[in-house]
């Protein structure tokens, strides 16, 4: 083995962590040290705050915080904060916002607002007896024993909505679930849900031992495997949609509205039936959704997991968006399940998250779900609009131009030259390189 194992790494201070890292793993030692330390914030309080979000922090990783303005949502204007490293996503969202601005904008609604979690357990005994004991006795006791945990949430109008026993023994021997549904109001609710579930599991084990309905071997057969919330929230869904008469779908790419509507609908249908395309189609949607989720301090891994599970709910991975062109009306929409919070978590801790929420007028969790769904729909509209007209590279590469020029070490004057150079041409990597070499060599 080339490298050494270290004990107590977490206890070392930042400098020592970096020194050890360089000694063991990095060979451009001074370079790496400078790169890592140049991102330390001069404001030590802010630096400490960020370090403590996670563990073993040695530096900060910046992401661009952008704004997509002019989003008309339910007749109110929004400027949407988006945190994303990929060029052209914010520009695409802004372009879609503008396109729909004079066509009534985006309409959104909440189709459901409950999240679930499960106690996954094994029971080797009489199924019917377990079911009747659950309904007649245990269910009430589960509510009772979580009164303390749910007190504050109930005061805010949320809490446990429903409890049921699910028999899963047909799929896995002796496997049952207690499924609990929750309303966690403006919080994402992970800690609340998991605390309730762990209390349910204790109550289950204690109460079955006390019960005289079951013989000892049945009582002792109860084994809780785990108690955990589900990141799949098909009952916590926001809908966002746009619609307009087909004749209003005027595109500057010179395509007739009817042809545009037809090709666009075909593109959505292809993503509905073809998983290869659906993955890319939904990835584009998540470009928009995740950037809002990250800007507002929410958990994008949870949102991603949920979206893709939902996209596969009918047994085949499919599009998250849908489109119809009936009776001369173009309609395009998304139903997006997601669990977000606007209180707790990073919301009051990360100054940029607080700022992002303020820019959005401090939305409720339901409002934020709708804004994220709009960002996803807008992104997908922009991508499909390009794909069925000019192709994606024209706009994408134009936005990517700066990245290529930065990689080449272009000066500000050279960058300006390239902006003019590509005014009437499609940007491509090789064209940039050729022109850059020509420019630097001073040839005409």
Q: Would you please indicate which residues are annotated as catalytic (active-site) residues?
A: 86, 283, 299, 396
Give the whole-angstrom CA distance, residue 425 versus residue 238: 40
Could you tell me the two tokens for 429? 């990597």
Does 318 help bind ligand MEV (rule: CB under 6 A)? Answer: no
Write the binding mask 376 to 415 for ligand MEV: x where contact by CB under 6 A, - elsewhere: -------x--------x-----------------------
Q: Does 284 bind ligand MEV (CB under 6 A)?
A: yes
Q: Compose the 285-304 pattern: x for residues touching ligand MEV by CB under 6 A, - for all others.
A: --x-----------------
The tokens of 258 are what?
């009817």
Phi, psi for 33 (deg, rounded to 5):
-60, -45
Give the total of residues touching ligand MEV (CB under 6 A). Answer: 8
* Cα–Cα distance, 382 to 284 (Å, whole number): 9
Q: Which residue among 14, 139, 269, 283 contacts ligand MEV (CB under 6 A)? A: 283
Question: Is residue 147 within the footprint of ligand MEV (CB under 6 A)?
Answer: no
d(CA 101, CA 350): 32
CB of 382 to ligand MEV, least distance (A): 8
Q: Label residue 10 exposed, middle or buried (CB < 10 Å: 0-12, 13-18, 19+).
A: exposed
Cβ-closest position to ligand MEV: 284
Stretch near ligand MEV under the rule CB under 6 A, chosen from 59-67, 203-211, 233-241, 277-285:
277-285
DSSP-derived secondary structure for 223-291: EEEEEEE-S--TTEEEEEEEEEEGGG---TTS--HHHHHHHHHHHHHHHHH-HHHHHHHHHHHHHHHHH
- Taking the C-alpha atoms of residue 127 and residue 263, their distance in angstroms, rounded to an integer, is 54
Whichever of 150 and 379 has its CB closer to ligand MEV, that residue is 379
Virtual CA dihedral for 287, 291, 292, 298, nearest 10 degrees? 110
Per CB under 6 A, which region of 137-145, 163-171, 178-186, 281-289 contacts ligand MEV?
281-289
Report the residue from 37, 280, 393, 403 that binds ligand MEV according to the rule CB under 6 A.
280
Contact call for residue 161 and ligand MEV (CB under 6 A): no
Give me the residues that bind ligand MEV (CB under 6 A), please: 86, 280-281, 283-284, 287, 383, 392
């Amino acid at each position: 083995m080339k490298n050494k194992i270290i004990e107590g790494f977490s206890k070392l201070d930042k400098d020592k962590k970096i020194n050890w890292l360089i000694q063991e793993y990095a060979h451009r030692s001074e370079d790496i040290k400078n790169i890592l330390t140049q991102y330390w914030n001069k404001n030590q309080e802010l630096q400490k705050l960020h370090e403590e979000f996670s563990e073993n922090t040695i530096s900060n990783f910046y992401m661009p915080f952008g704004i997509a303005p002019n989003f008309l949502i339910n007749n109110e204007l929004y400027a949407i904060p988006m945190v994303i490293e990929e060029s052209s996503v914010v520009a695409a969202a802004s372009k879609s916002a503008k396109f729909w601005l004079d066509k009534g904008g985006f309409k959104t609604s909440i189709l459901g607002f409950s999240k679930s979690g499960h106690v996954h357990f094994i029971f080797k005994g009489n199924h019917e007896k377990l079911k009747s004991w659950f309904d007649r006795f245990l269910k009430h006791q589960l509510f009772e024993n979580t009164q303390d945990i749910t007190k504050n949430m109930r005061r805010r109008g949320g809490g446990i909505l429903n409890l049921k026993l699910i028999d899963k023994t047909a799929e896995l021997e002796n496997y049952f679930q207690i499924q609990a549904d929750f309303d966690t109001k403006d919080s994402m609710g992970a800690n609340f849900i998991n605390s309730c579930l762990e209390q349910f599991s204790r109550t289950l084990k204690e109460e079955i031992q006390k019960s005289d309905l079951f013989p000892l071997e049945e009582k002792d057969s109860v084994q809780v495997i785990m108690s955990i919330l589900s990141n799949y929230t098909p009952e916590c869904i926001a809908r966002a949609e746009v619609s307009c008469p087909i004749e209003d779908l005027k595109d500057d790419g010179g395509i007739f509205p009817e042809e545009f509507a037809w090709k666009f609908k075909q593109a959505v249908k292809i993503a509905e039936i073809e998983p290869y395309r659906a993955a890319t189609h939904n990835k584009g949607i998540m470009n928009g959704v995740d950037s809002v989720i990250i800007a507002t301090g929410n958990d994008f891994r949870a949102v991603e997991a949920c979206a893709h599970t939902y996209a596969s709910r009918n047994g085949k991975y499919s599009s998250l968006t849908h489109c119809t062109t009936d009776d001369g009306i173009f309609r395009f929409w998304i139903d997006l399940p997601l669990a977000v919070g606007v209180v707790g978590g990073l919301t009051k801790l990360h100054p940029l998250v607080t700022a992002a929420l303020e820019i959005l007028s401090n939305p409720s969790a339901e409002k934020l779900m709708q804004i994220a769904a709009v960002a996803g729909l807008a992104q997908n509209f922009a991508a499909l609009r390009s794909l069925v007209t000019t192709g994606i590279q024209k706009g994408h590469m134009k936005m990517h131009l700066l990245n290529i020029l930065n990689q080449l070490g272009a000066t500000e004057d050279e960058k300006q030259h390239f902006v003019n150079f590509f005014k009437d041409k499609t940007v491509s990597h090789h064209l940039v390189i050729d022109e850059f070499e020509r420019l630097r060599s001073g040839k005409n």
